[in-house]
Structure 1
C-alpha cells in the first residue's frame, strides 16, 4: 500500500489545475472572435428595435426595421475595414499604440459623423442610376436594401481576407446591380461609371506618387544632411504648416457640409491661413523639442510623432463626416420612401439614423479593426514616423488635387496607394544606393544583382491581394445586389 504525502497531493492538484487553466486559456482564445460577433449581433438587433420604436406602427415599419439592421451591419463593416487606412500608418510607425489608435479613431469618427456628417444625402449614389427608373417606392426600397446589404456583405468578405477596400465603391456596385436588376442596363449612367472605374487607377497612383515625392523631399532636405537636427528645425515646421493647410482645406471642403457649403477657392484660402498660423506656432515648439537631441535618424522620429498622431485624428474626423453616408444614406432614403410613399433625389438624415451609423463605425473599429490596422500599418512595408507622416500628408493633398480636377476618388485607395508608394520608393532608393556602393567596391565584395532584387521592401502577396480586391469590388457587389434584389422582390408585401 502506497502512502501519498500532503505535499504530493497538492503538487498533483496543482498540475491538474495547471492543465485546467491551459484548457480555459485555449477556450478563451478560440471563443474570443465569437465575442465580437455576439456584440455585433446585439448592436444590429438594438438598431432594429430603435428603428421600430422611432417609426411606430406604420405600413412601412417592417421595411424600416430591416433596413436599420442592414445599415447597422454596413456601419460595423466600415469601421472594421475603412478606418484602418487612417490609423494604420500611425500604429505601424509606433507613434500610437493599438489601444490609443482605436480610442482616438472611435472618438473622431463619431464626432465627424455627428457634427459634420451633413443634413442631406443623395439617394442614388454618385448619380449612376436614372431616378425615373426606380421612382416607384416599392422598387426603390428593394433596390436600396439590396445595395446596402450587398455592399456590407462584400466589405465583410474583404475584411475576412485582410484586404482594405473602398466602401464607397461597394455601395456604388450595390446600387449599380440593383438598378440593372430593377430597370435594365439602360438605367445606368455609363459615363459616370467610367469615371468611377478610372478612379480605381488614378486614386492609388496619385496617392503613391505624392507620398513618394514627400518622402524624397524629407530624405533630401533632412535625413541626408550632415546636421540633421538643424535641418529638421528649418523644415519640420514647414511640413507641419503644409499639413495644417492641407487638412484645413480638406475639412473645409469635405467635412463641414452641415455647417456651410464651401467651394474650392474658399477652402484653399482657409487652408493657407491655418497653415501659416501653424507654421509660426510650430517653429518655436520644434526648437524646444529638438534641444539636446543626438544628430541621428532616431531623434528625427520624435519630432514627427505628434504631427502624425494629429493628422491621423483629423483623417478620422473627415472620414466619419464623409463615409458615414455609405451606411446611413440608403437607410435614410428607405425611411423617406416608406414614410412619404415616393422617391426623392435628396433626403434629410434623421438623427437616430446618424447615431446608428456613428456608433456602428466605432463598434466595428473596436471589435474587428486591429487586423486591418496591422495590415496597412506594418505588413505592407515597414513604416516609421517620417514615412507614415508622408502617407497622411499625401492622402490629404491627393483629395484636394482630385477635387480641383473634378475626379471621383476613393480615400481608401489613396491611403493604401500612399503606403505602397512609400514602400516602392524605398525599394528604388535602396537599389540605387546599392548600385552606387557596388561601383566603389572591389568585384569580390560586390552584391550580386539577384541578391539585390531579392531584397524587397514591399510584400508582393499583400499587393496582389489588395489590387485584386479593388478590381473585383464593384462587379462583386453588383452581382450580389442583383441577386438580392430578385430574392427580395419575391417577398409578398
Structure 2
C-alpha cells in the first residue's frame, strides 16, 4: 500500500494479491469462502438463466452451460465498467467499523453463513437466492459488531425495492411479454414460429446469463474486493478499480459451479413449475432480462431466481392460473422467507464466535 498525502493507493495486481493471501490467513479464508459462495451461486442460481432454454430443447445442457459461463463473464466485465452501482449498494448498506482487522473477520463470518445456508437448501433441489443470503449474511455480521447502527437503512431499503421489483414486476413483465408475443404470432405458421423462437430463446438465455453476471457477479466481486481493502487497512473500496483478473477468476468459478450442480435446479425451475413451450421460454427470458437490467442500472440488488421464476409464473398465467405448479412455488417462497432470518442468524452467531479468537 502506498500513500500520497491523503490519498491511499492499493496495489491490486495479481502477484500482490497472491502474496497477500499467503501472508494473511484471514484474507486467505475470506478468499476461499468468497470463491465458495460464488461456486454455490453458480450451482444454484446461474442454472436459472438457462433453465427454460434447456427444458424446451433449444440447447443441450452442456452447450447451454458453456454459453452461460461465457455470458456470465461478459456481464460481470462489461456492467462493472459501465455501472457498478449494485456493488456500491452492497458495500454501503452495512458498516463494519473502522477496525479493518475485525471487519475482515466479520466478513469471513458472513460468507461462511452463506455457504452453510445455501448448500443446505440446494440438497433439496429448491432454488435459493444467494443475493438475499449475501445481504442477510452481511447484515447479521454488521449487527454483531455494531448493533442496529451497523445497518445503513438508506441503502438497505433498496433490498425491499428489489423484492417488489422481482416479485411484482417479474410476474407482470412475464405475463405482458407472453401476451404480446402470443398476439403478434397468432397467425404465424407453427413450424416457422418454432424455428424463430428456438433461436430467439437461445439469444434470450444468453441475455439472461449476461444479466445474471451483471447482478450476482458484481455483488460477489465487490465483497471479495472489500476483503482486499480491509487487509490493506481501508474500510471501503471507494475510488478503487476492480482488476480484470478478479473478474475472470470469479467468472470461471461461477461457470464451474453451474456445470457441477445445475441440472436439478433446471428441472425445478424450467419443468416442475410450468410446462413451457418455446415462445413461452423466450417470453420468460426476455422479460426477466429486462427486469434485471432495470435493477442493475438503478443499483437495486435483486435475486435472479426471484425474477426468473416469477416471470415464468407470469408466462404460465397467460393460458391459465392452473398451469402453474403452486407446490413448487410454495417451496421456493418458504425458502426465500427463511433466508433473511436464517442466514442472518447464522452470520450473527458466527461473527460472535470468530471474534472470540482475537
> Under TM normalisation by the shorter chain, which class is it?
0.7 to 0.9
Cα 1:196–1:368, aligned 2, differ >3 Å: closer, same or farther?
A: same
1:396 is matched with 289
Q: Contact 1:204–1:413 (CA<8 Å) still a contact in 2? A: yes
2:90 is matched with 125
> What are the superposed Cα offsets for residues 420-471 of structure 1, whole Å, 9 maximum, x if unpaired?
111223224xxxxxxxxxxxxxxxxxxxxxxxxxxx3221211101111122
Unaligned runs of at least 5 residues, structure 1: 1-49, 230-294, 429-455
Does residue 1:410 correspond to 2:303, yes or no? yes
Q: In the TM superposition, what are the counterparts of 1:197-208 in structure 2 within 5 Å?
A: 197-208=160-171
2:141 is matched with 178
Does residue 1:344 correspond to 2:236, yes or no? yes
> How far apart in 1 are the matches of 2:283 and 2:296?
20
Aligned residues: 342
Q: Contact 2:177–2:283 (CA<8 Å) still a contact in 1? A: yes
1:190 is matched with 153
> What are the superposed Cα offsets for residues 216-243 of structure 1, whole Å, 9 maximum, x if unpaired?
22333323xxxx23xxxxxxxxxxxxxx
2:278 is matched with 385
**TM-score, structure 1 length as denominator?**
0.64
Does residue 1:101 correspond to 2:64, yes or no? yes
| Larger Rg computed on CA atoms | 1
Q: Contact 1:204–1:415 (CA<8 Å) still a contact in 2? A: no
Q: CA RMSD in A?
A: 2.7
Q: Contact 1:173–1:477 (CA<8 Å) still a contact in 2? A: yes
> How far apart in 2 are the matches of 1:123 and 1:140?
17
Q: In the TM superposition, what are the counterparts of 1:224-239 in structure 2 within 5 Å?
A: 228-229=187-188
Cα 1:145–1:316, aligned 2, differ >3 Å: closer, same or farther?
A: same
Residue 102 of structure 1 deviates from its aligned partner by 0.9
Residue 170 of structure 1 deviates from its aligned partner by 1.4
SS at match of 1:381: coil
Question: Bigger shift: 82-91 or 192-201?
Answer: 192-201
> How far apart in 2 are the matches of 1:143 and 1:474?
17
Cα 1:83–1:171, aligned 2, differ >3 Å: closer, same or farther?
A: same
1 or 2 for the larger relative contact order (CA 8 Å, sep ≥6)?
2
2:323 is matched with 457
1:80 is matched with 43
> What are the superposed Cα offsets for residues 333-355 of structure 1, whole Å, 9 maximum, x if unpaired?
1222212x231243443444333
